[in-house]
Chains A and B, each alone.
Chain A
Amino acid sequence: MASPGTAPAEESELYRRFAPRVRLYGLKHLRDEAAADDLVQQVLLVAIERLRAGEVQNPDEIGSFILGTSRMLADSTGRKARRRERLTAQFHVPELYAEPVAESGDIEIVERCLHRLAERDRRLLVLTFYVEKTSPEIARELGVTGTVVRVARHRALERLRECVRLRQGFGGQVGREGTKR
């Protein structure tokens, strides 16, 4: 039930606007989809509770408040996760592996666009986002500087984004440089 100053419609609007941002924050800092989803629920519940209690008065402050809550709760979740990892390592409990959510339509397009990139750009993106190597580590591996890696990486991702955007607009038809089909 909504009380002081908030109505269900406003709470829905709050959720619509901020849930994706909290989820991104969770993915960045917790590196786990389920943990990021949990964070969204926890943070938005706290925010709605505070709004109902009239503790957040200025609408311009709501973003900062939600970010602050995200930081606090993610930090606590992160500490718990690190403790679980330590215990898992100590007692040799096997990690459960969850299959990633399939989004086959987009994956097909991303796969094709990825293979249209120059070989070094493709390798750079895979090393960054899949292997999660830092730019100095990649720089050592490719024999270039960290600055070169960062510039090449954002240009490569920009090209990938443009290619995907075009293909999504044209029904996903595109050739590729790599394996012939």
Chain B
Amino acid sequence: MKGFIFARFAQMIITVFIVSLIVFFLVRLKGDPIAVMVPPTFNEDQIARMREVWGFDKPLGEQYLIFLSKAVTGDFGESIQARRPAMELVVERLGYTYMLAFTSALIGITLAIPLGVISALRRNSKIDLLSTTLSSLGTAMPSFWLGLMLMIVFSVNLRLLPAFGALEPASLIMPSLTLGVGMAARLSRLTRSAMLEILNQDYIRTAYSKGLGVRVVVIRHALRNALIPIVTVLGLQLGWLLGGSVVVESVFSWPGLGRLMIESINVRDITVVQAGLFWFALSFILINFIVDTLYVFIDPRIQYS
């Protein structure tokens, strides 16, 4: 086990390093970051001088080395727009994004698993069809539409919930519901499918014939094995949410990482983009690592040869 963890840790570092390299060049690939920063009335000389001041006139390789040498000390440079350390801006937003991500995931699982299990147990019954329809609705519904509808009902008409910001606990309700419903819709399909696969296997019938009750069979035996694909997709979804859900953050003015990233990309505040991306890559890879480790606990037969 120890060797496994250590090896994965090393791989993680390498992957993040390579990803940061790729993104570094991606954002500088075409076009001129300085050009987006300056007023439209700047002439060519002024733009050239600004490029010099910010170090964008240096060759790309040199720029990357400078970035790298600072990044290993935790210095991701200064945000061009905010004149504060880029990583500081990212860290400020993390708490909000994590809060939203975990709450949405919780809602997602709480709704998805029971729904998926019931649909599998009562395959092709009315309840199964209903749940299939509901989950199709959940995946097809654009999140901005659901979010704005919730806002119109609960903020405008009922005056119950805040329409923007993260100022009070109640602000969390609508955004996490919006994300959670979408997540639940996707996960419940998968749960159902995974359960179906297992429920029809012989060893389940054997378990029933031994006299074990439905509940025990389903939860301790079937669901446990069905968890593998569920946990995989849950990990992926959570990873994306931790990077900040741009649409929901935008609709609800939630001060999360997604909004920061989009804004920074739009104004080409490159240092912030790099800092945020580094964090996103790190958390995603970490989650996949946790998921891979969980496989072994869920199904002891799995080995990494």
Q: Tell me, yes or no, whether A binds B.
A: no
